[in-house]
Chain A
Amino acid sequence: MTTTVAISSKEGVVLASDKRASKGFFIGSKDVQKIYPLDKSIAVTIAGLVSDAEYLINLAKAERKLLALGRDFPLTVRETAKLIANLSYRALKAYQPYYAELLVAGVDADGPHVYSSDPSGSLIKEEFASSGSGSPLAYGVMESSYSKEASLEEIKTLAEKAVRAAMERDPGSGNGVVIVTIPLSGGQTVVSKGVN
Chain B
Amino acid sequence: MAMEGPGPGRSPFFYGPDGRLIQVDAALEAVRRGSPTVGLKTKDYAILASQVRPARPLLTPSEKIFVLDDHAGATGSGYVGDLMNLIEEARVQAQRHRLVYDTPMDILSLAKHIGRYFHSFTLYTVRPPGASIILTGADPLGIQLYQVEPGGTYFSGQAAAVGQEAEKALEVIIQGYKEDMSLEEGIELARKAIGAAAGEEISVEYGIVKKPEGTFEKRPAS
Contacts and interface: CB of A to CB of B under 8 A. Distances in A.
Given A70-B108, A70-B109, A70-B112, A75 B140 contact: no
Interface in B89-146: 99-103, 106, 108-109, 112, 139-141
Contacts of A70: 108-109, 112
Contact of B141 (A67, A72, A79, A86): A72
A76 B141 CA distance: 13
Interface centre among B102, B103, B109, B112 (most CB of A within 10 A): B102
Contacts, number: 29
A148 interface: no
Interface residues of B, number: 12
Contacts of A75: 101
Contact of B140 (A82, A83, A109): A109
B103 A79 contact: yes
B108 A71 contact: yes
Given A70-B112, A73-B141, A82 B101 contact: yes
B106 to A, nearest CB: 4
B9 to A, nearest CB: 38
A86 B96 CA distance: 12
A78 B109 contact: no
B109 A86 contact: no
13 contacts: A67-B109, A70-B109, A70-B112, A71-B108, A71-B109, A72-B108, A72-B141, A73-B106, A73-B141, A76-B103, A78-B102, A78-B103, A82-B101
